[in-house]
Structure 1
Amino acid sequence: MKVLMINPPDTASKYKFIGLVAPPLGLTYIASVLEENDIDVKIIDGSALEMSWEELEKEIPNYSPDIIAVTAVTPTIKQALKTARIAKRTCPDSYVVMGGYHPTFTYNEILKNDFIDIVICGEGEYTMLELVETIENGGDLRRVKGIATREFITPPRPIIEDLDEIPFPARHLLPMDKYKVLNIKLPTGTMISGRGCPFHCSFCASSAMHGHKLRLRSSKNIVDEMEHLVSKYDAQNIAFMDDTFTFKKSRVEEICNEIKERDLDMMWGCTARVDTLSKDILKKMRDAGCITIFVGVESGNQQNLDKLNKNITLERIKTTFELTKKLGVRTIASAVLGMPGDTRESIEKTIKFVKGLNPSYAIFSLATPYPGTDFYMNVAKDDLIKVNDWSKYTLLSPVLETVDCSLEELKALQKKAFKDFYLRPGYIARQAWMDGFILIKTVGAMIKDVSKLG
């Protein structure tokens, strides 16, 4: 069997405005499991290669694939569907499979397209393996857990309990020299150290996909992969893409100790909740090479935080940001504007609150309900969704109106938030002293594209 996996062209989606093109880790994890079982697999990353549709159409048949798998998230579902249509047209005898966050929760909608044969729901590594082996052996697809077709839906596949059993992502199948941040090619690697999230933030698509049970890789397994990225791909920066990397303090300490014992020469960044950070753990992380932490601030209004089930307070947020500044760790503060119940006054308050935290960088996203989340179900039930075009679900385009803000007014407030933060007197000079060229490129990208938001 030959399996071709495709990340569709133009899939930078919500990160396009900051020039980020990251490796499709989901595809590479599945590919690594297939290769481990002696299955011939190729990956086309149409986004990183900046492929045209014509180029993709010529490339697909070159592999003579038996199965073509296309990945999709909500903002890129149109590109994914176009990719699948091209795949079926060029290789009509191949099975066309789709997976990822969006198809998992909208498989009924996806399967209305006759050029898609199967949807993989949930974690795809071992579902894809079983699917390939079943097709190869002429078996009964109804026995494959975790798939949906037009004829049937099989029971969900249990989550992967031991993440250490999954081989490292098959990065050798990717154009590793094409990935970039701020449109700059950097020796950067991306990793995931765990899956699932025990918190219950209403807007989180990741916990909807991977569950609320937190599954963590061992510290040794994680640092082995870090070392692999440094030695094989010369990675100087590593970004952990977990929902909350710092959830378990003892595990973070083990990772930091392992990094220092191996004397790994690289920098890294991660995501964190303010209630998982303390002075001692931040020091430990900084000394082990952590230079940037992404923090979900979400709102400057306690009532909104409570509605989002964040279970954190404004005071705790302030205290944590003060601590990171004292310890010299860069921060990226992420806020959400335009939640149901938000008003112009409360949005202005959030913008002011984020500025007052004085983080290194800030991202102001517009409230976006993704399929599978509690947030989506609640706003759909209350008929609050004003835009049904999935391509607009980028965090940069408003899809919900608030009590006193139209869609156009929300766009204007988001633009104001970016400008107010990045064009403050002294901000560029202060950050340039810390980050130099990277900061100049960041602000340049923000100011250049802020007029295009939405």
Structure 2
Amino acid sequence: MKVALINPAQLDSKYKFMGVVAPPLGLAYMAAVLEENDVEVIIIDACALEMDLVSVGRQLREFSPDIIALTALTPTIAKALETAEYSKSVCKDSLIVMGGYHPSFNYKEILKYDFVDVVTIGEGEETLLDLTRSLEYDLPLTSVNGIAFDDVVTPPRQLIMDLDSLPLPARHLLPMDSYKLLNMDTKMSTMITSRGCPMQCSFCSSAALHGSKLRMRSVDKILDEMEYLVNEMGIETIAFMDDTFTISKKRVIELCEGIEERNIDVMWGCTSRVDSLNKELLRKMKKAGCITVFMGVESADQQMLDTVNKQTTIERIKDAFEVSRQEKIRTIASVVLGMPGDTHESIKNTINFVKELNPSYAIFSLATPYPGTRFYQQTLEKDLIKVKDWSKYTLISPILETVDCSLDELKKLQASAFKKFYLRPMYLIRQVIMDGPILVKTISGVMRNIMFPAKKNDDVPMKFQKRMVDLD
């Protein structure tokens, strides 16, 4: 059996201006499981390599796969569908499979396109393997849990509880030299140490897909993978992509001590909640190579934080950025503008609050309701969604109107937020000293993609730019 996994090209992304191009770790995990079971696999990362459809089709024609599986997020679904349709035209006998966050929650929408044969729902490693076996041994698709096809939805796939049972991601199938983090001139890779998040913020797609139960890999397995990345693949920077890397302080301390004991020489960054950090932990992390922490600020309005179930306070946000600054660890603040209930005044208060926090970098996203989240359901029921084109769900295009802000006004407020944050004289002086080349590239990206975006035509067919809000 031969399987081609495709990461489709993307349109705009909230990470584009930050100089982030990350490997498709989910596809790499699926490829590893397939290879472990004697399935021949290729990964086509059309996003990282900026491949056009003709180039993708050329590789597919040469490989001649039995299954073509594509992954998709909400803002990439239009490109994924376009790629799927083209793939079917090139490989007419291949089974076209789509999975990922968006298809998992919107499988009815996806199956309306006759060139998509199967949608996988939830975690894909075991599902794709079972699907491959069913095709190989001519078994009915109904024997595979966690899929949808035609008018059939099979029983849900159980979550993989023992993450240590998964092989290391098949990074040897990826163009590892194409990935970068924060415009840094180092060879990087991503990793996960856990799946799921018990906090369940209402806007989080990952928590909606992976559930509230936290499943964690063993520290020894994590350290083994880090050693492999550094010693065998020459990786210099690792980005931990867990929903919340620091959810267990004890485990992070154990991991940091293991990094030191094994003398693993690598820089790394991670995600964190503001209430799961303290000075002792940050000191341990820095000693073990941590250089960057990504934290969700979201809003300066406590009521807004409570509404999205953030389960933290303004004071904890302040404390987290203060101790990070004291320990000289680079911080990235993630902020959401334009939540229902936001006003001109509350948005400006949030922008000023972020300036006072003085993180190393800030990402000002516009509130975006993703399918599968409670936030999506709430905004759908209240008829707050004003944009029905999935390709605009990038966090840098306005989707919702607020109490007194139109879509155009929200876009202007976002551009103003980036301008007020990044063009402060004292900030520029500080960051040039710390991150000269990175800062220049970041500000250039902000200006090009946020503050003064170039006018361009949509580059996906209109039939893929429609969202079916009437689906159950």
TM-score per shorter chain, which class? Answer: over 0.9
Task: Output the amino acid matched with 1:269.
Answer: G
- 1:51-450 map, 5 Å: 51-181=51-181, 186-450=186-450
Q: Is the 8 A contact 1:14 1:75 kept in 2?
A: no
1:388 CA displacement: 0.7
Distance 1:360 1:19, change over 3 A: closer
1:452 CA displacement: 4.3
- Once residues 419 and 295 of structure 2 are traced to their aligned partners in structure 1, the CA distance between those partners, rounded to angstroms, is 20
Q: Deviations over 1:266-307 (max 9, x none)?
A: 110000001111111111111111111000000001110010
SS at match of 1:180: coil
1:57 CA displacement: 2.2
SS at match of 2:59: helix
Q: Deviations over 1:219-243 (max 9, x none)?
A: 1111111111111221111101111
- Once residues 243 and 68 of structure 2 are traced to their aligned partners in structure 1, the CA distance between those partners, rounded to angstroms, is 29
Q: Is the 8 A contact 2:393 2:399 kept in 1?
A: yes
- Once residues 47 and 25 of structure 1 are traced to their aligned partners in structure 2, the CA distance between those partners, rounded to angstroms, is 13
TM-score normalised by structure 2 residue count: 0.94
- Once residues 252 and 11 of structure 2 are traced to their aligned partners in structure 1, the CA distance between those partners, rounded to angstroms, is 32
Distance 1:221 1:12, change over 3 A: farther
Task: Output the amino acid matched with 2:339.
Answer: M
SS at match of 2:425: coil
Q: Is the 8 A contact 1:147 1:153 kept in 2?
A: yes
Which residue number in structure 2 is paired with residue 29 of structure 1? 29
Q: Which runs of 5 or more structure 1 residues have no equivalent in the other structure? A: none
- Once residues 84 and 236 of structure 1 are traced to their aligned partners in structure 2, the CA distance between those partners, rounded to angstroms, is 35
Distance 1:139 1:120, change over 3 A: same
1:111 CA displacement: 0.0
1:50 CA displacement: 1.4
Aligned residues: percent identity? 60
Q: Is the 8 A contact 1:196 1:213 kept in 2?
A: yes
- Once residues 154 and 195 of structure 2 are traced to their aligned partners in structure 1, the CA distance between those partners, rounded to angstroms, is 23
1:363 CA displacement: 0.6
- Once residues 143 and 194 of structure 2 are traced to their aligned partners in structure 1, the CA distance between those partners, rounded to angstroms, is 28
Q: Is the 8 A contact 2:190 2:239 kept in 1?
A: yes
1:184 CA displacement: 5.9
Q: Which sits farther off after the overlay, 170-179 or 440-449?
A: 440-449
- Once residues 10 and 193 of structure 1 are traced to their aligned partners in structure 2, the CA distance between those partners, rounded to angstroms, is 26
1:426 CA displacement: 1.5
Task: Output the amino acid matched with 1:451.
Answer: M
Task: Output the amino acid matched with 1:17.
Answer: F
- Once residues 313 and 453 of structure 1 are traced to their aligned partners in structure 2, the CA distance between those partners, rounded to angstroms, is 34
1:259 CA displacement: 0.2
Q: Is the 8 A contact 1:145 1:157 kept in 2?
A: yes
- Once residues 11 and 121 of structure 2 are traced to their aligned partners in structure 1, the CA distance between those partners, rounded to angstroms, is 20
Q: Which runs of 5 or more structure 2 residues have no equivalent in the other structure? A: 455-472
1:450 CA displacement: 2.3
1:451 CA displacement: 2.5
Q: Is the 8 A contact 1:411 1:453 kept in 2?
A: no
- Once residues 12 and 31 of structure 2 are traced to their aligned partners in structure 1, the CA distance between those partners, rounded to angstroms, is 21
1:183 CA displacement: 5.5
- Once residues 35 and 57 of structure 1 are traced to their aligned partners in structure 2, the CA distance between those partners, rounded to angstroms, is 23
- Once residues 403 and 54 of structure 2 are traced to their aligned partners in structure 1, the CA distance between those partners, rounded to angstroms, is 45
1:15 CA displacement: 2.2
SS at match of 2:14: helix
- Once residues 421 and 37 of structure 1 are traced to their aligned partners in structure 2, the CA distance between those partners, rounded to angstroms, is 51
- Once residues 14 and 352 of structure 1 are traced to their aligned partners in structure 2, the CA distance between those partners, rounded to angstroms, is 21
Task: Output the amino acid matched with 1:338.
Answer: G
RMSD: 1.3
Q: Is the 8 A contact 2:25 2:169 kept in 1?
A: yes
Q: Which sits farther off after the overlay, 119-128 or 9-18?
A: 9-18
1:100 CA displacement: 0.3
Number of residues paired by the alignment? 454
1:433 CA displacement: 1.4
Structure with bigger RCO (C-alpha 8 Å, 6+ apart): 2
- Once residues 58 and 45 of structure 1 are traced to their aligned partners in structure 2, the CA distance between those partners, rounded to angstroms, is 14
1:316 CA displacement: 1.0
1:453 CA displacement: 5.5
Q: Runs of 4 or more off by more than 6 Å in structure 1?
A: none
Distance 1:453 1:233, change over 3 A: same
- Once residues 332 and 420 of structure 2 are traced to their aligned partners in structure 1, the CA distance between those partners, rounded to angstroms, is 16
- Once residues 129 and 445 of structure 1 are traced to their aligned partners in structure 2, the CA distance between those partners, rounded to angstroms, is 40
Q: Is the 8 A contact 2:19 2:442 kept in 1?
A: no
- Once residues 312 and 151 of structure 1 are traced to their aligned partners in structure 2, the CA distance between those partners, rounded to angstroms, is 43
Task: Output the amino acid matched with 1:72.
Answer: A
1:78 CA displacement: 0.6
- Once residues 183 and 199 of structure 1 are traced to their aligned partners in structure 2, the CA distance between those partners, rounded to angstroms, is 31
1:439 CA displacement: 2.0
1:323 CA displacement: 0.9
1:200 CA displacement: 1.9
- Once residues 436 and 217 of structure 1 are traced to their aligned partners in structure 2, the CA distance between those partners, rounded to angstroms, is 36
- Once residues 448 and 273 of structure 1 are traced to their aligned partners in structure 2, the CA distance between those partners, rounded to angstroms, is 30
Q: Which sits farther off after the overlay, 220-229 or 252-261?
A: 220-229
SS at match of 1:135: helix
- Once residues 283 and 144 of structure 2 are traced to their aligned partners in structure 1, the CA distance between those partners, rounded to angstroms, is 47
- Once residues 185 and 433 of structure 1 are traced to their aligned partners in structure 2, the CA distance between those partners, rounded to angstroms, is 17
- Once residues 162 and 58 of structure 1 are traced to their aligned partners in structure 2, the CA distance between those partners, rounded to angstroms, is 38
SS at match of 2:153: coil
Task: Output the amino acid matched with 2:363.
Answer: I
Q: Is the 8 A contact 1:31 1:169 kept in 2?
A: yes
